[in-house]
C-alpha cells in the first residue's frame, strides 16, 4: 500500500530541506512524495529540483495557485498512493519509522483515518516545545462543526478525500 505525502510551499527555502529529508529517509514504506510549489522566488525550487534529481519518488509542480488549500488539492489530484498525508514545508517527521507505523495501522486495523498529536518546537532549538496539540479529545463528530485534527498528522485513503471534494461540490 503506497503512501503519498504532499508538501506545499512558497518561499520555504529556510526549512524545506529538513522537511524533504524527513520524508525521503522514511524506512520500510512504499512512498511517493509530491511537492507543490507556488512559484517561489527564493531558493525553494532549486532545493526541490536537486532532491528530485536524486530520488525518483519525488514529483513536483511549480506554478501559481490560489493559496495553501488549492495547492494541497493539486497534490492530492497528482497522488497515486492509496493513503494521503500532508506535511507542511516547515514541519518534519521525528524518526525514520513514522510512515511505516502509519502504514501498519492501516493494514492491521483498517481505519478510515489516522491522526495523532503534534508538537510545535522552537525554530532554533528542536528540543524546546513551544506548543503541544493533543488530539486525544478529538471525535469524528467534530468534522460536522468544521474542526479537524492537525493536518500534518492526518492520514486517510485518497478515495475518502475525493469523495469529500465531490460532496462539497454537490452541497454548493
Q: What is the pLDDT of residues 128-165, one digit of tens each?
A: 878 878 888 888 788 788 878 887 888 999 887 655 55
Q: State which H helix or E strand residue 159 sits in.
A: helix 158-171
Confidence grade of residue 167 (pLDDT, cut at 50, 70, 90):
very low
DSSP string, 37-102: E---SSSHHHHHHHHHHH-TTEEEEE---SSHHHHHHHHHHH--SSEEEE--TT---SSS-HHHHH
Domains defined along the chain, listed by start: 3-115+148-171 (3.90.550.10)
pLDDT for 74-97, tens place per residue?
Answer: 999 999 999 999 999 999 998 999
pLDDT digits (tens, 9 = 90+) for 110-134: 998 898 888 877 778 878 878 878 8
Confidence (pTM): 0.88
SS3 of 28, please? coil
Amino acid at each position: 500500500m503506497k503512501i503519498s505525502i504532499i508538501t506545499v510551499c512558497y518561499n520555504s527555502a529556510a526549512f524545506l530541506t529538513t522537511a524533504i529529508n524527513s520524508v525521503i529517509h522514511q524506512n520500510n514504506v512504499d512512498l511517493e512524495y509530491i511537492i507543490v510549489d507556488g512559484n517561489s522566488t527564493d531558493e525553494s525550487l532549486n532545493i526541490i529540483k536537486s532532491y528530485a534529481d536524486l530520488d525518483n519518488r519525488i514529483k513536483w509542480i511549480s506554478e501559481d495557485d490560489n493559496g495553501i488549500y488549492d495547492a494541497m488539492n493539486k497534490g492530492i489530484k497528482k497522488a497515486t498512493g492509496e493513503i494521503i498525508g500532508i506535511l507542511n514545508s516547515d514541519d518534519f517527521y521525528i524518526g525514520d519509522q513514522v510512515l511505516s507505523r502509519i502504514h501498519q495501522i492501516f493494514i492491521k486495523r483498517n481505519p478510515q483515518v489516522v491522526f495523532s498529536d503534534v508538537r510545535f518546537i522552537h525554530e532554533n532549538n528542536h528540543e524546546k516545545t513551544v506548543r503541544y496539540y493533543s488530539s486525544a479529545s478529538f471525535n469524528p463528530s467534530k468534522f460536522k462543526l468544521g474542526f479537524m485534527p492537525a493536518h500534518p498528522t492526518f492520514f486517510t485513503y485518497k478515495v475518502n478525500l475525493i469523495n469529500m471534494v465531490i460532496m462539497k461540490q454537490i452541497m454548493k
